[in-house]
Structure formats: C-alpha cells, structure tokens
Copies of this chain bind each other. A is one copy, B any other.
Amino acid sequence: MTIRIGVLGYGNLGRGVECAIKQNPDMELKAVFTRRDPAGVKILTETAKVYPVADAEKMKDEIDVMILCGGSATDLPVQTPEYVKLFNVVDSFDTHAKIPEHFAAVDAAAKENGHVGLISAGWDPGMFSLNRAYAEAVLPEGANYTFWGKGVSQGHSDAIRRIEGVKDARQYTIPVEAALEAVRSGSNPQLTTRQKHTRECFVVAEDGADLARIENEIKTMPNYFDEYDTTVHFISEEELKRDHSGIPHGGFVIRSGKTGWNGENKHVIEYRLQLDSNPEFTSSVLVAYARAVYRMAKEGQTGCKTVLDVAPAYLSPKSGEELRKELL
C-alpha cells in the first residue's frame, strides 16, 4: 500500500513535491489541485490527474496526505486550517513571527476533524529548527547562530524589482566568512546584522534609467537593505538569464557551548546546507514529513504538529530494525 499524496498548488514547490515523490517508492502522487484552469496545467506524472481546487473535497477518501504548496503571506493562513478539516496536511508556513497563531488555528481544526496537520516544514523553519533545538538541549550553556546563504532571497529580489526603472533583479544573501569563523572558534561573539551577512544585487535597468538613483534606493531601503553592506551590479538581461537563473540557497546553524564543572571545555555544533534548488529541497522535506504525518494519523494522533514533535524514525521508509542496523 503506497501513501497517496495530493498536491495543492503547482508552482515551484508543487513541482518539487512531484519530483520528490518519484524518489520515494512508498508514495504515489494521486492528484494536483490548482486554482488555474486544469486544462492549462501540465504535470510530469503520467498516472496523476489535475483538478480544480473546488474538487478537492470529493477526493477526501483517495488522498492520505495533502501537501499544501501555497505561499505563507496569504495562502497558507487560510488554506491549512481549511484543508485540515478534510485531510491530513503538511505545509511550509515560514513566517516565523506568526507560527504561534497559525499553529493554534490548525490545531483546533485538526483536532475537531480527527486529522494531523504538520506546519512549517522545510529548512528554515524545518531542518534548521531541528538543529537549533537539538543543539540547545545538548549544550544548554551556549548560543545559537543562524546564517543564511549564499542564496537567492526571493523577497529581496522582489523588493528591488518594485523600484522605478528596474526591469529585473536577483539578490543574493551572503554570510560573512569572518563572522562564521568567529562563531566556530567558540568565542560566542555578539554580532550585528551588518557583521553577519552582506547582500549582493544583480540588476537589469530599463534603458536610460538613472542608475545612481536606483543603486541609492536599493542601499537605503528600510528593513531590506539599510542595515547591510550591499553591493549593486548592473548587468544585461542576457547576463541575468545566463548566470542567475538558478534558485540556490542554504546556510548554517551553529551552536557553541561549554561543559565541565566550571565550563572549562568548549564545543561547536555546526549544521550546514548547500542547496542547488531551494524549492526542491523544501519539497523533499515536505514529502518526508508527509510520510510521518501518514503514520502519526494511522496511530490515531490528531492536531497540529511541527518538526519538533516528530521522532526521526517516522520520516524514513525503513523499519526500526533497518534503521538501527544501518544508520544508528
């Protein structure tokens, strides 16, 4: 019996989920649900079908876990509490500050309807959260550091695109090597925003645009750029397409802490991701957690869960015996 997966939303993330399911023989993509005209949505899996979202409810009994691939700004706050009434669901809700209220909404709806809803899977929140939690539990006296990059920030790229005279743009977040080294040394440094990351922007300007003004507007943009050392490169549309069309990302979670009766020994725990494709890696995490959700639901668990509530064994297709023999 394979785990039957539904995908709601077929953008980069939904397509990534489709690809990840192909790598997991115990799973099957049953259906993709879209707000677009289904006739216009071509998927890769020959055995799966595309339906309008309105048809999701009819498929209640044919889908074990629905993976919600919408955005965190407006889609998921509505969709996850709504669809957990019908399905076990997984989402990648990543607005850190709003996780508590999202959790509460999903938990109430999930419990009322006897489903499991796992929220905020992915890598941050997700794998990075796991590593912050494990490291803090093991080394209570210490400090956590999270660095992002080198990678493309969609939000910052969009912010640049909204500037007058900008045709297209790509922004990379880059961790500062000296800050990484200071953290790895175990010295528990206090680091400002500026000391941790730099921002590098590749901008395609409209013909005749005032480049100096654009550069200044970027560098002084509140919240997005003003607290960072920012570099701006103006390039052609061809160069942007050729050199900056990927969506790489990654980063570091590092905890340094001490042990011993008088804190005499230092330890550094470092977790690092280098991802060619941010959405495909996120999707791969969603799919592993869909397996966990399926199993937790089978056991009769209900309510909202996060990655912190899931024992690692639930993520693997291997049995307990296999895991102990091969991976422990």
> A325 to chain B: which residues have CB within 8 Å?
99-100
Instruction: Enumerate A298-328 residues with CB–CB distance to B below 8 Å.
Output: 306-313, 315-317, 320-321, 323-325, 327-328
A119-150 interface bits toward B, Cβ cutoff 8 Å, 1 = contact, 0 = none? 01000010101111110111111001000000
**Is there a chain B Cβ closer than 8 Å to A275's Cβ?**
yes
Interface size class of A (residues with CB under 8 A): 35 or more
> A44 to chain B: which residues have CB within 8 Å?
261
Docked-complex contact B133 and A99, CB < 8 angstroms = no
Partner of A138, one of B18, B266, B285: B285
> A274 to chain B: which residues have CB within 8 Å?
184, 186, 267-268, 270
Copies of this chain present in the complex amount to 2
Given contacts A138-B285, A261-B44, A324-B103, contact A272 B273 (CB under 8 A): no
A136 and B313 alpha carbons, distance in the complex (Å): 11
Docked-complex contact B280 and A276, CB < 8 angstroms = no
> A16 to chain B: which residues have CB within 8 Å?
259
Docked-complex contact A308 and B280, CB < 8 angstroms = no
A233-268 interface bits toward B, Cβ cutoff 8 Å, 1 = contact, 0 = none? 000000000000000000000000001110001111
A104 and B131 alpha carbons, distance in the complex (Å): 30
Partner of A277, one of B96, B99, B265, B308: B265
